[in-house]
Amino acid sequence: MNLLGFGFKHPTLSAFIPSKKDFQDCGGFVTEQEYIDGMLTRTGLFMDRAALDTVRNTTFAIAGLGGVGAITAELLARWGVKKFRLLDMDRYEDSNLNRQLFATSKTLGRTKVEVSAERIREINPYAEIEMTVIDMVTNDNARPFVDGAGMVIQNADRPSAKLLYLAARDLKVPLVNGYATVTGGRVQAFDYRNSPCESVIEKYWHKHKMQAMKPLTEMSVEEVKEFDQKFVHATAPSLNFVTNQVGCLIVAEAIKLLTGQGRSAQYPWFVEFDTFTCRMRRRHSLSPFEPGNVKRIKGLVEKVLKKS
């Protein structure tokens, strides 16, 4: 396991600490407040200072920095967020070039965490990357990554990312998740500060699905790897205008949740969209007509009938 940031500064970030001359050369800003005020001029025409400060003072823990995650880091950096935590095990490869914002000819082969940290500091040289994890999600790093954060942005696409939800629920840290389908996606916010955000159907479905396995929270690193291999989804088509739209909606939900403004896609609600049908709607995840619930109920009924 490669953990950077548990008490250590990221080794590549020293080059991005700004000097007064740097700001004079790029527009004349000489203080952090001047720089941030300039950055947020247009944002501040919509949101008041209190809302902006709430977002800026929240520590964002972003897990997954690929097609969906990179745009969330980019947008939050442009909100002037002060502190970030970054987690991703992968390096950039050529198949990422079609959709992943930070994938370029110059970043191929480099870790997504390192490149994302540099990009954040290019946008806001005053931002602090207080923790970096270049590894898969495990029982060793999930809780430390979440503990002390003010918001988790969950973009990791492996089944082991469930550990982040469990840690966030236990620590009462809000989390926003989103994923892309081929032409659309789904985004949902979980305010664990007020609720465990789990229905009876979901609870029993997960218990049924994992009944022959050791609890995920008790698995070793090797067992978590096997868990991922067993339940991981096959590689699917991926379109850049879809993945980046999902990331934009994730940031929107995070901002709404933190500021209490707007109509939220907060559990049990979620928002889904499809770019090819020009459709976006807010749906209820506990509805008996929700396809996922129909599948779960059917599976549970079949299990009961098989036992009888």
Which structural domain, as residue segments, surrounds residue 214?
2-307
CATH code where residue 37 lies? 3.40.50.720
Q: Which helix (H) or strand (E) holds 73?
A: helix 69-77
Instruction: Give me the residue label for tokens 């990422």.
Output: 96
Q: Taking residues 28-39, report their average pLDDT.
A: 87
Percent of the chain predicted with pLDDT > 90: 75
Tokens of 147: 């503990």
Of 104 and 4, more confident: 104
Number of domains in the chain: 1
| Winning range, highest mean pLDDT, from 17-26, 205-214, 220-229 | 220-229
Q: Taking residues 111-122, report their average pLDDT.
A: 98
Of 301 and 240, more confident: 240
> Binning pLDDT at 50, 70 and 90, where does residue 286 land?
confident
> Binning pLDDT at 50, 70 and 90, where does residue 13 land?
very low
Looking at the DSSP bridge assignments, the partners of residue 61 are: 85, 152
For the chain, what is the mean pLDDT?
89
- The answer for 172, left when phi > 0, alpha when psi is -120 to 50, beta otherwise, is left
Q: List, for residues 18-27, the tens digit of each pLDDT value.
A: 444 555 555 5
Report whether 91 contacts 110 (CB < 8 A): yes
Instruction: Give me the residue label for tokens 């720089």.
Output: 35
The Cα-based distances of 257 to 67, 165, 166 in angstroms read 23, 17, 19
Give the pLDDT confidence score for residue 205 in this predicted structure.
64
Across the beta sheet with 151-154, the strand order is 2-4, 128-134, 83-87, 59-63, 151-154, 175-180, 184-190, 269-274, 279-284
The secondary structure of the chain in percent helix, strand, coil, rounded to multiples of 5, reads: 45, 15, 40
Give the pLDDT confidence score for residue 9 in this predicted structure.
39
Percent of the chain predicted with pLDDT > 70: 81
Q: List, for residues 229-279, the tens digit of each pLDDT value.
A: 998 888 999 999 999 999 999 999 999 999 999 999 999 999 999 999 999
CA end-to-end distance (rounded Å), the chain: 46
Burial string for 198-207 (b: 16+ CB within 10 Å, else e) reads eeebbeebee
| Peptide linkage before 268 cis (omega within 30 of 0) | yes
Amino acid at 181: T
> Binning pLDDT at 50, 70 and 90, where does residue 8 land?
very low
Q: List, for residues 144-203, the tens digit of each pLDDT value.
A: 999 999 999 999 999 999 999 999 999 999 999 999 999 999 999 999 999 999 876 676
